[in-house]
Amino acid sequence: MKTKAAVLMGEGKPFEIMELDLDGPKEGEVLIKYTAAGLCHSDLHLTDGDLPPRYPMVGGHEGSGIIEEIGPGVTKVKPGDHVVCSFIPNCGTCRYCSTGRQSLCDMGATILEGMLPDGTFRFHGNGQDFGGMCMLGTFSERATISQHSVVKVDDWLPLDKAVLVGCGVPTGWGSAVYSGNVRAGDIVVIYGIGGIGINAVQGAVHAGAKYVVVVDPVAFKRDTAVKFGATHAFASAAEAQEKITELSWGQGADAAIVTVGTVDEDVVSAAIGSVGKGGQVVIVGLSSPAKFTVHWPGIDLTLNEKTIKGSLFGSANPQYDIIRLLRLYDAGQLKLDELVTQTYTLEQVNEGYQDLRDGKNIRGVIIHDS
Ligand SMILES: NC(=O)c1ccc[n+]([C@@H]2O[C@H](COP(=O)([O-])OP(=O)(O)OC[C@H]3O[C@@H](n4cnc5c(N)ncnc54)[C@H](O)[C@@H]3O)[C@@H](O)[C@H]2O)c1
Ligand SMILES: [Zn+2]
Ligand SMILES: [Zn+2]
């Protein structure tokens, strides 16, 4: 079978639209027709060379779609089922899945190489094997993926909005609710309001934060954060720090969440400096593995019992939390529609990423039209 896809052929190159050959599903795999794909910053890290993937790679790891065919041994879904993809698979049986930490599933080890769990590829072209970003490749009309990468959702849910629950929503929401352990009455500061940070705002509000302070240099992002429940918004970390000191009567924030596009030492230091005794610093945003971004006197961590932790998929369990978040949406308590700033065709993928770079989008979404 043929499929049209947006692919990365090497570092520093934009997406190219190509027609690829796609193998059908083998044991434990499903053929999915993607309906929508979100434009998350993590794919931009691939084009910018911050993240070192295996090339060539079909882009896209935020996806929703409809199952068209299943391979032998598939029990999770059947043809016709509507699904949201999870950018971390959940096998259900590894040490992490079986202890309620699906975001660390061992099957996610090859998300930047993009092959399926058996170590082989289903996309091919020009005599080469093509990986799929996060074992998904949602910037393709169709893909063959593991059943462990999909979560069945109710048919009536709008897949062009539910798509965001495959990465941006759980990653951001969970960074506050789970990783940041935000509690009623807390003061939370969030650095960077893109598709991830805006959902950290939603999570902090749900968890009952008293003040949600956001930092983003882009005015549109700050205004949007306030519409989503942020209580204070600043263009710089220094301005935010002044306010946090005032709001906390000098005690500092309870949690600081770093969701900027490219993490650097300055923003991490601002975050660690913003929290008070017992404070949690959560690093969600990515940067090159060659870059050291945490430089801080350990004695401050010791004497003030501060915690610095990373957060993958918001420390959430995809199988449970994707459904949980969609139920919150259904109950009118989680905003999804308002997260989509702009939609694009597959051919417009580079335009969509330019809009992300230009700070125009909370989330851009590709609508597959085939
Ligand atoms: N840990 C995970 O599981 C996970 C999952 C998805 C994405 N990510 C990463 O999260 C980050 C955010 O992704 P996104 O899609 O929301 O990106 P985005 O580009 O849409 O948003 C990032 C925001 O950060 C702002 N920003 C940049 N520098 C800043 C600074 N110094 N201070 C304050 N704000 C600043 C930008 O103006 C922008 O609004 C990326 O690094 C992405 O790769 C991590
Ligand atoms: Zn993502
Ligand atoms: Zn697992």
Residues 64-108 have pLDDT tens digits of 999 999 999 999 999 999 999 999 999 999 999 999 999 999 999
CATH number of 2-166+335-367: 3.90.180.10
Is the shortest distance between the CB of 286 and ligand 1 below 6 Å?
A: yes
* CA atoms of 285 and 259, how far apart (whole Å): 5
The set of residues, in sequence order, having a beta carbon less than 8 Å from that of 90 and lying 6+ positions away, is 97, 102, 105, 107, 148, 317, 318, 319
For residue 88, give the ligand 1 atom closest to its CA.
3
281 SS3 class: strand
pLDDT of residue 369: 81
Q: Where in the chain is the domain with CATH 3.90.180.10?
A: 2-166+335-367
pLDDT of residue 348: 98
For residue 362, give the ligand 1 atom closest to its CA.
20
pLDDT of residue 48: 87
Residues 340, 334 contacting (CB under 8 angstroms): no
Ligand 1, residues 39, 40, 111: which to mutate, most atoms within 8 A of Cβ? Answer: 40
Strand segments (E) across 95-210: 123-125, 128-132, 142-146, 150-153, 187-191
CATH class of the domain at 172-311: alpha beta
Ligand 1, residues 215, 216, 363: which to mutate, most atoms within 8 A of Cβ? Answer: 216
pLDDT of residue 30: 98
Tens digits of residue pLDDT in 106-145: 999 999 999 999 999 999 999 999 999 999 999 999 999 9
Residue ranges in the chain modelled with pLDDT below 70:
370
For residue 237, give the ligand 1 atom closest to its CA.
32
Residues with CB under 5 A from ligand 2 (ion): 40, 42, 167
Q: Where in the chain is the domain with CATH 3.40.50.720?
A: 172-311
Residue nearest to atom 21 of ligand 1 (CA): 194
Count other C-beta atoms under 10 Å from residue 132's C-beta. Answer: 30
Task: Name the H helices within 218-307.
Answer: 219-227, 237-247, 265-274, 298-304
For residue 215, give the ligand 1 atom closest to its CA.
33
Residue nearest to atom 2 of ligand 1 (CA): 312
Is the shortest distance between the CB of 196 and ligand 1 below 6 Å?
A: yes
Is the shortest distance between the CB of 173 and ligand 1 below 6 Å?
A: no
* CA atoms of 272 and 254, how far apart (whole Å): 11
Ligand 1 centroid–CA 196 distance in Å is: 6
For residue 266, give the ligand 1 atom closest to its CA.
31
Ligand 1, residues 112, 220, 269, 286: which to mutate, most atoms within 8 A of Cβ? Answer: 286
pLDDT of residue 370: 59
Is the shortest distance between the CB of 191 and ligand 1 below 6 Å?
A: yes
Is the shortest distance between the CB of 353 and ligand 1 below 6 Å?
A: no
Q: Which ligand is nearest to the CA of 94?
A: 3
Q: Which ligand is nearest to the CA of 87?
A: 2
Active site residues: 40, 42, 45, 61, 167
Closest C-alpha to 258, from 301, 310, 222: 310
Kindly report the length of the chain.
370
